[in-house]
Amino acid sequence: MVALSAVAVAVFGGGAPIASVQAADPAASGATTGAEVNLWTYYGDTGAAAGCVKTAADDYNAAQSAYQVKIRNLAFTDFNQQVATAIAGGTTPDLMIVDNPDNARFSAAGALADLTSKVQEWGQADQFLPGPWNSTQWDGKTYGIPLGSNTVVLWINTDLATAAGLDPSKPPKTWDEFATWAQAMTNKDAGVYGTALLAKKDETGTFLFLPWILQNGGSIDKLDSPEAIAALAFWRNLVDQGWAPKSAVNDGFAEIYQQFTTGKAGMMISGTWNVASIGKDAPDLHWEVAELPYTKVPASSLGGENWAVFASAKQQDGAWDFLKFVTDPAYGTKLTDCMGYMPSRKDVLAQVAAKAANDPTMQVFLKQMESAAARGPLPNWSEASAVIQDALQAALSGQKTPEEAMKDAASQMSSILQ
């Protein structure tokens, strides 16, 4: 069993360590209300993340008196449309938290402030990991600062694995081994699948499936290649064999988490955000994590968000001042710990690594981050992602063969990439 160690709690949140993030009351500290810096997030339907960002804003507001960060939390599903409407109407806030693949979209549209000169003066760009930093770049300029990162790994129910005659200390490292494990842990009479699969028709579906294309040496600009087709065929076979549920085409992170924590799935592919909650939601569950299996090269998804300042912001200087505060090594891992993320800065990530030196769970996540690939950057990433989602849906539902689905996807993708 991999218990939720003290290090994991401190790194990913939960329990007492988060309480240490709480800011002093601005009024009690003598802080005065300064110029408003308006921040939009898409955490309106995710209370935990919204609370973490509020704490960071409270910390900043208590630390100085020139500016006061005010937050508006919108729903994830409506966020990009509301931002686009605000841009068209000239009513944008000063600052937003944006999903990292969408950064290029707003940068290319001219909606974001060019932070290149501020970053050069700051002199800390080289401290950010290449993947997250690349997501802030467009046309040779900087249009954001990484907030934090996450990735996904393989989660294994060790009791189910042992009962199936598998050795949890030797997790599957290849696709063939993964299929063997999925078959062995499937118990159709008990309604237990060897693995859960997330193939929902939204960005999370792309987020989970794209690494498998990359693991096999494929790429999004050649979706009709044998490598890309084989990745989709592998997923299709898991469903066809009954080793993964047919509901995969509708299942998101909440569904696969429930399947895994209730013992209805022997494995799942999910991320850092589960570490803090799984001990509370399933205290009797014995589990461990492992790097994703692969065929040719290790690959996972790079998730996370960026801070972005709007070109029409009334308080660009205030927004930038807040960004320097919340991403500074002195502020450390407070925000990312609370959100269940890993820092995007190398020097702050080193703080996590030091705390996690004897934590096998965190060591797996840190290792997997080395092969986490960013989506894009493309100004029309949402269109490219939709093509991958459609192929995934068509193949796993049986409407098309994997080859047909990927050839159709390749035809659509070529015009999008142009």
Res 130: pLDDT: 86
Q: How many CB atoms lie within 10 A of CB 64?
A: 15
**End-to-end Cα spacing for the chain:** 49
Tokens representing residue 392 in the block: 């995934």
Res 78: pLDDT: 87
The string of DSSP letters for 335-400 reads HHHHHT-B-SBHHHHHHHHHHTTT-HHHHHHHHHHTTEE-----TTHHHHHHHHHHHHHHHHTTSS
Q: What is the topology classification, in CATH, of domain 18-149+304-358?
A: D-Maltodextrin-Binding Protein; domain 2 (3.40.190)
Contacts of residues 169-173 at CB distance under 8 Å and 24 or more positions apart, as own/partner, are 171/288, 171/290, 171/293, 172/290, 172/293, 173/291, 173/293, 173/294
Alpha-carbon gap, residue 264 to 259, rounded angstroms: 5
- The SS3 call for residue 27 is helix
The answer, yes or no, to whether the previous bond of 377 is cis (omega within 30 of 0) is: yes
Please state at what angle helix 381-396 crosses helix 203-215, rounded to 10 degrees.
Answer: 80
Res 46: pLDDT: 66
CB-based contacts of 262, cutoff 8 Å, min separation 6: 282
Give the start-to-end residue ranges of the domains of the chain.
18-149+304-358, 152-301+380-417
Per-residue pLDDT of the chain (418 residues; tens, 9 = 90+): 333 343 444 444 433 233 333 344 444 434 457 999 999 999 987 668 899 999 999 999 999 999 999 999 999 888 999 999 999 999 999 999 999 999 999 999 999 999 999 999 999 999 998 889 999 999 999 999 999 999 999 999 999 999 999 999 999 999 999 999 999 999 999 999 999 999 999 999 999 999 999 999 999 999 999 999 999 999 999 999 999 999 999 999 999 999 999 999 999 999 988 887 899 999 999 999 999 999 999 999 999 999 999 999 999 999 999 999 999 999 999 999 898 889 999 999 999 989 888 899 999 999 999 899 888 889 999 999 999 999 999 999 999 999 999 999 999 999 999 8
Q: How many CB atoms lie within 10 A of CB 375?
A: 23
Please state at what angle helix 381-396 crosses helix 226-240, rounded to 10 degrees.
Answer: 50
Q: pTM value? A: 0.83
Res 93: pLDDT: 98
CB-based contacts of 151, cutoff 8 Å, min separation 6: 271, 272, 300, 301, 302, 303, 342, 365, 368, 369, 372
Q: Look at residues 330, 327, 329, 291 and name the one whose alpha carbon lies nearest to residue 306.
A: 327
Q: Which residue has the tokens 């589960």?
A: 274
Res 273: pLDDT: 86
* 18-149+304-358 and 152-301+380-417 share one fold: yes
Q: What is the CATH number of domain 152-301+380-417?
A: 3.40.190.10
Q: Give CA separation, 254 vs 16, 52, 186, 258, 392, in Å.
A: 25, 20, 21, 6, 19
